[in-house]
Amino acid sequence: MKDLAKDLTTRFGKGFDLTNLRKMRQFYLTFPIRDAVRLELGWTHYRILMKIESLSAREWYMNVAVASNWSTRALE
């Protein structure tokens, strides 16, 4: 992962450090079905949602955040 982070940073610039790569991997593992992702939410919303272990709770918060146009602060 360290080598990948270094390579991606060289090729594409900031945003590919080891910490972000781990979060990107966690995102993929948490939301493996692409259609489950809501385009209305940003990366910070998803970082918060990934902390919720229960799938049903995570889906509920995701849907309410979209329907109510919650900021990341409201979601937290």
CA distances (Å), 52 to each of 5, 6, 13, 46, 56, in order? 26, 30, 30, 10, 9
Q: Across residues 64-74, what is the average pLDDT?
A: 96
Structure confidence at residue 63 (pLDDT):
94
Read off the pLDDT of residues 25-64 as tens digits, 9 standing for 90 and up. 999 999 888 877 889 999 999 999 999 999 999 999 999 9
